[in-house]
Amino acid sequence: MDSTAAYAIELRDIVKRFPGVVANDGVNLSVRSGTIHAIVGENGAGKSTLMKTLYGAHQPDEGMILVNGEPQRFRSPRDAIALGIGMVFQHFMLARNFTVWENIVLGQEPRRRGRLDISGAKRSLDELGQRYGLDVRPDDLIADLGVGEKQRCEILKVLYRGAKILILDEPTAVLVPQEVDELFASLRELVAAGSTVIFISHKLDEVLRHADAITVIRAGKTVGEISDPHSVTARDLAEMMVGSQLPTPETRTSTVTTHRALEVRELTVAPEPGSIKDRVAKVSFEVHRGEILGIAGVEGNGQSELVAAIMGLEDSVGTVLVDGLDINRLSTMQRKARGIGYIPEDRQQNGLALELPLWENAALGHQHSEPYAKGRWMNRSGARQRTREIVRRFDVRTPSIDVPAFALSGGNQQKLVVGREMMSEPKVLLASHPTRGVDVGAQAVIWDILRDARSAGLATLLISADLEELIGLSDRLLVMLRGQIVAELDPATVTPAMLGSYMTGVH
Amino acid sequence: MLSRIRGALLAPGVAAVMAILIAAIALLISRNNPLTAFSAMWDNISNAESVVLIINRAVPYYVSGVAVAIGFKMNLFNIGANGQYLLAALIAAWAGSQVTLPAPLHVTFILAVAVVVGAAWASIAAILKVTRNVNEVISTIMLNFIATGLVAFLLTEQFRERDTGSLIAQTPTLPPSARLPHLDWLITWTGIDLGNARLLGFLPIAIAIGVAYHLLLNRSRFGYELRLSGLNPEAARAAGVNPKAMVFKTIVLSGAIAGLIGMHSLLADPQFYKYGDQFPRMLGFTGISLALLGRNHPAGVAAAALVWAMIERATQPLSRIGIPQEIGVIMQGAFLLTAIIAYEVVKRRNDANAAAQAAAMSQSVTTAEPPHTAQLPGGGS
């Protein structure tokens, strides 16, 4: 391998067609060796197709791939790995019931005298981890790890296979600010040691802060190559991505009323087996009509359990009132009927059945109510009619309502989920990470929906890892740490950095 | 619509060709002439009499396939259909012989007993699963053994016909009021000669079961929640479906239908009208293959049952010309395996097409229209 080549990776005029669509239509990318290179673009712009091309998952129809200055053809990911290209996926590919070291060596186990060399594996892991500041304990079970640690495992897995060029797909989507800084510190170490890093991101601030160069992709084409990130602003980048001028954020007037739509009193969720710490510990708050109450917190501090308890999906002690009426003894279905809308934190896991067509997904959670059902029978024409309305009103981009949900991009799936909940006109909305992993366009649509619903009187409990989103949308902010509410903050005065320190308990 | 049917038939078509090829290879290896074998097989199925016999054979297979399919739809593997139907058939045969009722009521009574027994036996596995989280594959397999033993005990000790002095253990023969009349008039009316074959009377009930299965699965709220629970149990729970209740209901329903598997032989087949040692014993296992082959689809399982019966009918005369009849089992196995592979290949292709179409849609819209108001709160997102 010629490590002195100026460009680790070059793509020239890549074209990739699928039946009925040109996903990449002239993509150019030049990644200098030893740099951190960001690729930005809306969902559906052709980023994932590009990644697959880079990783050898498919071959482009036209164009050239150069690795370290040499033209290459990848017949499979194996060829890409052989050339030192490693991919870190957004959705972790780790076996939950295996330990860290087992996951990392899986498929490339070191052997000594025909047997698995366990101590050797752990030793080389420790070395790798220390060299790049990727802190992991080899004997931990994956199931016990937080998101940041899992991600470090994924990176180590790739490094262990000898990758010199790392591709990371939205690596920060699931991390809190402190973890993001740690990640990029590690990536810096890697680059300093001669590796090259390519990452995809939606978070433009972060791209500007950490990338040495940026490539912007829109509608399958490269529309911008920025070699000096200091010369552009997040706004410039966003405009390049969507291809037009952005409106300025409007100032909002408060629509908060004194009517308590949702009241939670001393809600407690018992500890997990083997632990003694309540997952949610005597949490009390209220959300008024026309108010968005934001809950900030590092993931795993009880926010998911709090929402699950309010939905009746998790056993809890305490009182939950909707419009003053106790719903403690009601089933999830009855709670929904009382006017709680629910945007689950993971749309693919909890919000959709990916193989079902859109119109059946629209009925999910509302399968007992009009227009989706008539008594014990489903109302197909009613459901389809309602789905068409959701698609139209909430800008779900789809060829038809009969395509399976997996065919849609993340943003469009999420718009369907949000639209479905909004169409049933809830009094209270539990929105968990409503814009996680969606593109800027869909994010803006979803924010607008939430704002409009707020002015129309909806009480929203917003849980998010996106601190800008929390601060931008919320009327009040609570911080959750280790199952407890530890602070109430005013979004008008708080900064993401301050919020981060409350979230980690430093404050 | 036409293209959808063509698409659905593509995979099984390819699988059929592969199965015939594999059978041919097996015949060649065993030093038999495949052409001789295949022509003998074809001769044995290409007449009206055979078609009727194939349908008769397919009917209980179909009921069995539907019973298993309903569990599969929720990722529940009811391997216990066999025990459920044997026990149901025995108890229904005995109960039917103990009452005197007018014809329609008598038949209904026996069917009801079979349904209740099948459901009750399956409910053991359902309760174990819901309360103790016992894997239903294990429990239903175990319950098959227990059911077989229980059937043998009940038959010899409790339900056997006593006053004949016969050494064979069997239940008393059902009176004519408990028998389903044959349907030959349906065919002879068209002038086709059936020879010695009779079209047995359980067929309309099997068709009704298929229609009911379709309506339940694709039109009812319960069916929606059932499919949802099978595809994504987490999402189903978030949508207010009680997973335990769903598991319980589905296993019991599967058992209820399984209870009917033996009713074709008991109520419609002149060979039986009773439960004895000649009663078919393995129909419940065939259902597993048929549910897989028919992809749990009401019509698909019917087609699978007919193919299965056809292969069995076709290979019957082979031993007479010195060719091992087991070639039929090889064909069935090869067909099942290649069909499952072919389904997966076709599914992946369709999935990729659907994804590409949707991607095309969102892109064409992106470029054709001005994009939506993208806002950056606080100068970045």
Distance of alpha carbon B234 from alpha carbon A332, whole angstroms: 13
Q: Does pLDDT of A246 surpass 60?
A: no
Q: How many domains does chain B contain in total?
A: 1
pLDDT at A252: 63
- With contact defined as beta carbons under 8 Å apart, do A258 and A443 qualify? no
**A456/A459 Cα distance (integer angstroms):** 9
Instruction: Please confirm whether the linkage preceding B370 is cis (ω < 30° from 0).
Output: no
Whether B60 is covered by a domain: the verdict is yes
Q: Are B132 and B55 in contact (CB under 8 A)?
A: no
Residues of chain A with CATH 3.40.50.300: 7-242, 260-503
Q: Which residue has the tokens 């016990």?
A: A144
Cβ-proximal residues to B298 (8 Å cutoff; 6+ apart), any chain: B66, B210, B211, B213, B214, B217
pLDDT per residue as tens digits for the range B8-17: 788 888 999 9
Give tens-digit pLDDT for A118-147: 888 888 888 888 888 777 888 888 888 877
CATH architecture of A7-242: 3-Layer(aba) Sandwich (3.40)
CB A458 within 8 A of CB A427: yes
CA A191, A228, A496, A430 dihedral sign is negative
Query: With a CB-CB cutoff of 8 Å, which residues 218-247 of chain A face chain B?
Result: 219-220, 233-235, 238, 242-244, 246-247
Residue-wise pLDDT tens digits, A146-183: 778 888 888 888 888 888 999 998 888 777 777 888 88
Give the CATH number of the domain where residue B250 resides.
1.10.3470
> For residue A351, what is the DSSP state?
I
Residue B140: pLDDT band by 50, 70, 90 thresholds?
A: very high
Nearest-CB residue to A377 (from B220, B239, B240): B220
Q: Binning pLDDT at 50, 70 and 90, where does residue B377 land? A: very low
Give A-chain residues touching B225 at CB under 8 angstroms: 367
Interchain pair A242, B374: CB under 8 A: yes
How far is A243 from A335, CA to CA, in rounded Å? 43
pLDDT band (50, 70, 90) for residue B379 = very low
Minimal Cβ distance to B234: which of A220, A335, A350: A350
Per the domain annotation, does B3 fall within a domain? no
Confirm whether B357 is domain-assigned: no
In a domain, B264, yes or no: yes
* Assigned domain for B237 exists: yes
DSSP letters for B270-287: TT-SS--TTS---HHHHH
Give percent of chain B above pLDDT 70. Answer: 92
B162, part of any domain: yes
CB B262 within 8 A of CB B86: yes
As a whole number of angstroms, the distance between CA B178 and CA B112 comes to 13
B238–A23: do the CB atoms touch at under 8 Å? no
Please say if the pLDDT value at position A286 is more than 90: yes
Domain A260-503 has CATH 3.40.190.10: no
Q: How confident is the model at residue B364 (pLDDT cuts 50, 70, 90)?
A: very low
- CA dihedral sign of residues A426, A429, A431, A434: positive
Which of A219, A380, A444 lies closest to B373 in CB terms?
Answer: A444
Residue type, position B361, single letter: M
Helix axes B103-132, B243-258, angle to 10 degrees: 140
Which residue did the predictor score with more confidence, B207 or A497? B207
Q: Is residue B312 part of a domain?
A: yes
Type and span of the H or E element at A318: strand A317-322
Give me the domain span that covers residue B275. 54-317
DSSP string, B186-230: HHHTTT---TT----TTHHHHHHHHHHHHHHHHHBHHHHHHHHHH
What are B268-321's pLDDT values in tens digits?
A: 999 999 998 899 999 999 999 999 999 999 999 999 999 999 999 999 888 888
pLDDT at B5 > cutoff 80: no
| pLDDT at residue B378 greater than cutoff 70 | no
Interchain contact, B238 vs A356, CB within 8 Å: no
- Which chain A residues have a beta carbon less than 8 Å from that of B220? 376-378
Q: What is the pLDDT of residues A249-276, one digit of tens each?
A: 444 677 888 899 999 999 999 988 777 7
Residue with tokens 């890093």: A197
B172 domain-assigned: yes
A186-191 average pLDDT score:
89
Residues A97, A45 contacting (CB under 8 angstroms): no
Is residue A66 helix, strand or coil?
strand
On whether the CB atoms of residues B296 and B72 are closer than 8 A, the answer is yes
